[in-house]
Every structure is written in structure tokens, then in C-alpha cells.
Chain A
Amino acid sequence: MRVLIQLRPTPDVVAAVADPGVTTTTADVSDGLPGVVLDNSFVPVAVPRPVPATGGDPLSLNQALTFSLAAEHASVLVRGEISDDELSTRLTLLPNTRSDVIGVHADPVIESSIVCGGDAPVGDWHDVERLLRVADLRSEGLDGSGVPLAIVDTGINAAHVAQRIGHTPIIDARNSWNPSGVSGSAGDFDVDHGTMCAFDALISAPKASLIDIPVLLSRRPGGSAMDGLLSDAVAAFAHLRTVLDALPAATRSLVVSNSWGSFSPRWDFPVGHPGNYSDNAAHPFNLVVASLEQAGADVLFAAGNCGRECRDSRCAYPDRPIGGANSHPRVLSVAGVDTEGERVGYSSQGPGRLTQRKPDICAYTHFSGSGAFGDDEPDSGTSAACPVAAGLVSAIRTRWPASALSPSQLRALLRRTADDRGGVGFDYDYGYGVLDVAGILASLRRRDLRVA
């Protein structure tokens, strides 16, 4: 762990550090501390001492104070690192064994340029292609051929996807489905959010068969423009169950990408009510999700855009914004990182409502891709991260159907091989980490050898 160590060296050293005309180094301040690897690139910093007025409390910061950089008052900060497995011991011992050590403080990573909604794209979809090692996937024949991939969203415009990605996507019109009252043909909807999702899924699974499910176009009583009702998703998943059941059991697979959710508890029954959705695994939609997964489908949900640093203005949950099916134990909840591997500030953080350990993993977002919202606009939101991950799952399914690798086994594999970010192991920002294709492929090869 990186730490800042507060020292009180001799007054002449303090005076030198505090003097802007003198250059000092960590070696000038300390000749070493047991168990600490000092960072010699860090220029020591003088820390003024808070001084209360005459008669004031010497221990309180809640009073009128002056700050003294006088050599007999000030202290000096240096930077170093303590091994994680010695941390608690060293934190206790250092101030007791070294009289010049007056404090050891955390030195957390600070991010000054975290990506938020409205920011320019970070990289483009070819960067995502490179990061997902699509060339390696293709050399192994993992391109999504024959894998049904449902985009549950606002509908797909196949012509736009073809023009942007450079090949004609395969639209499985026979298995596509519209909610009642929604007209339009599979692959022929207006360019919008669903088109972005289709494009992003095809980055790593260019030959997947897209099933177009425009639930968010529903105009059922109670809905409004550009949203749907959860009952439409219940019906959509029931339809997908019939699609899955019609496939041969030995080679069956179905990947379902869901870049949507419910932003507000205002539309839900209160938590604790038996009909509530957000926190209730017995809600009909949560049941149909479990049923579809049990039948062999890989179900992916976006974690949401309610991250603390720059949440979407529609977010109305006061805390724990990953709820309902987005936090379901049988789905993969996908958070977002940019193409530099940094979490985007709007990506929702756990714990989840149905399952605490959410999100599961991170995939790429906020890159220049489909141009569905304009040439200069990024494919953004965890809305983009979810289909990016769904495309990778579809690529894997080219060779490993659900009969060979169950949806729960595949989720475990993705979590286990993820590139750990943030805190060690699982954390509520990155989940288990960023999807790591090299690790996934190596693990699948080892698995094949064991099975053989």
C-alpha cells in the first residue's frame, strides 16, 4: 500500500524543505525506515503545524488557528510503500520504534480526469477490438457463428450497423419479436440506442445471429416515449424461452444483452412490499430471468449509469442503484471502463439489491463506435459495456455451448480470469475486474485438456 509518512527531522532539515529556494530529496530527510520502500522520486513537502491562540486547546482543530512553517514547528512528508501483508504491523511499529515518525497516512489513488457523460470519446472501436484480442478470437474460430444473440432494446437498424462496421449483420428475423402494439421489422428500426448495442456486440462476435427485441419501443398504457414497461420484458423473455427450447439441447446457446433498467423507485412498489421489483427475487421478471438462465441462456445486464462521481440525472435511488434483474444472481452485471482501463464516473457501484456482489465485471465503453447518436458522439453508458461483454460471450459460445459450459460456469470463468482493478479482489467499483480475453482463452484451453 502506498503511504505518506510524516516525519519530524532536525530543524535545519525542516528549514531546508520549507525553503522554496532549496532543493531537497527524500534521502536528505530520511536514511531509510524499516519495512518501507521510500519513493526517492517524491520531493519532500513541509507540513505546517496548526497553532492555537494563547490558552487554546492544543489538540483541537475546531478553533481559531494559525499555521506555522517555522523549523521548530513544521514536519515533513515523504512517500513510500508498505507491503500489504505487513501493513497493520508496520503501522503500529513505525511510530513506536522511530521517534522521528509522527504519522503514517494513506495515499489513495486520485483520479482527476474521470470520464463522465458528455465527455469526448476515449479511443474508438478498433481499440476495443484490440483490447478484446479479436484477432486471437478469430484465429480460434470464435466469431459468434451460429450463436443467437438477443438485443433487448429499442430495435436495430441493420443498414446503419453495416455501414459503420463494414459488413452486413446477420438478423434472425424468424426469432425476433415485437411487443404488442409495436410495428416495424427486425433490423429495420430507427437508428437509436438498440443500434448502438448491436454494433458494440458485433465487435467481437461479427457472425452472431442478432435477435431483435424492441421492448423499449412499447407504448403500452403507462409507458411513454423511449421507455417501456417491465411487463414487456417479461413477455420478451418468455418468447426467448421458446426460442431457446426449440434449439437442439446438445448445441444450445442464447446470449441476451440488456442495456436498460429502472431509474426510479417512484415506479415500483415500496421495498418490503411482496410485489416490489427492485429488491424482490420473487417478482415475475426476476423469476423469468432465473428460468431462462436455468434453461441455458447467458443473460447480461448493464450495471447502470448512477455512479457516484457523475450519475445520470434520472437516477433517483438514494443508494444501491443496481437493483432488480440488473443485480440478479443469475446474470452478469456489467460495469464500464474506458479504453484506458479506468472506470467511467457514471458506472453504477455496488452493492446490488438482489445480490450484494455487483457489478460482476467491467467491459469497455465511451469509445467512438456506432455513431448512433452522431458522428462525434461516443458509444457510452454501461449500455455500451453490456453488449461489448455480450459479444465476447457469444464468441465463446461459438465453440462451447451451454451443454459444455453452463451459464453459471461461464460467469465464474469470466469473474475468475478478470483483470483485477481497484481494491485487491472483488470491489464495488470494478467487480472482479476488466474482461481479460487472454485469461479466458487460456482457461478454456486448460478446460478442454482436462475434459479430453
Chain B
Amino acid sequence: MVLITVRLPPQATLEQATRRLGLRDEEVDTGYDLVLIDPRRGLYGLRVTEAAAHRISPASCGGTGPHSDPRIEPYGPPR
């Protein structure tokens, strides 16, 4: 899965985002939900399948993507 961003009004929901972007339920990580990235710009993030991210156009909703979602690990103890 990858990250995409989308611009939405305040208090937006995942359902609004998926409808706006034309995403199907199985293409979205619903457990992750919709995350507010920058309140000043109304920018939200969500996780979708890579295929969906390429099929839709986040830019048409003021968003961006697909963005990588790399693994993160603790920086210690050094191995």
C-alpha cells in the first residue's frame, strides 16, 4: 500500500475522501482511516493500494501521490 494526500473541508471523513477520489472500499486501508496532515491547508492522508493510487488522480482533488510508506525501525542498539 502507498500514501496519498487529498484536500478536503474541515472535519472530513474517510467516506467523503473515498467518494471524492472514486475509490472502492477494498482499495482503502480503512483501519488506517483518514489522517489530518496539515489543518491550515486542509490536507489529509490515506493509505490505498498501489494500483488504486495509479488509477485515480489525487491531484484533481488538490492532493498528491502515490508516496512511499517505508518501514521504520528503532535506532538502537546498534547491530
Overall SS of chain A's interface: loop
User: Quick one: CB contact mask for A212-250 with B, threshold 8 Å, 1 for yes?
Assistant: 000110001111101111111111001001000100000
Kindly identify which residue among A230, A238, A241, A269 contacts B72, using a CB–CB cutoff of 8 Å. Answer: A230
Q: What is the 8 Å Cβ interface bit string for chain B, positions 50-72, against chain A (1 contact, 0 not)?
A: 00000000000000111111111
- Asked if B37 and A238 make an inter-chain contact with CB atoms under 8 angstroms apart, the answer reads yes
Interface residues on chain B, size class? 20 to 34
On whether the beta carbons of B76 and A263 are closer than 8 Å, the reply is no
A338 at the interface (CB under 8 A from B): no
Q: Which of A117, A235, A282 contacts B77 (CB 8 A)?
A: A117
Verify if A275 is at the interface (C-beta below 8 Å from B).
yes
Please tell me if the beta carbons of B40 and A196 are within 8 angstroms of each other in the complex.
no
Cβ B37 vs Cβ A259 within 8 A: no
A282 pairs with B76, CB closer than 8 A = no
Interface size class of A (residues with CB under 8 A): 35 or more
With both beta carbons as reference points, the residue of chain B lying nearest to A269 in the complex is identified as B68
Among residues of A, the one whose C-beta sits closest to the C-beta of B43 is A287
Interface presence of A153 (CB below 8 A)? yes
Cα of A232 to Cα of B71 in the assembled complex, Å = 10
Tell me whether A267 and B32 are in contact (CB under 8 A).
Answer: no
CB proximity to B under 8 Å, residues A347-395 = 373, 377-384, 386
Q: Is B26 an interface residue (CB 8 A)?
A: no
Residue of B nearest to A324 (CB): B70
Output the least CB separation between A312 and chain B (Å): 5
Nearest Cβ in chain B — how far from A203, in angstroms? 16
A234 touches B3 (CB 8 A): yes
Residue ranges of B at the interface with A (Cβ–Cβ < 8 Å): 1-3, 5, 29, 31-33, 35-40, 43, 45, 47, 64-79
10 A-B pairs, CB-CB below 8 angstroms?
A: A224-B71, A238-B37, A275-B67, A284-B5, A284-B64, A288-B37, A291-B40, A305-B75, A310-B78, A311-B78
The 5 closest A-B pairs by CB, nearest first: A381-B76, A383-B76, A117-B78, A267-B70, A275-B67
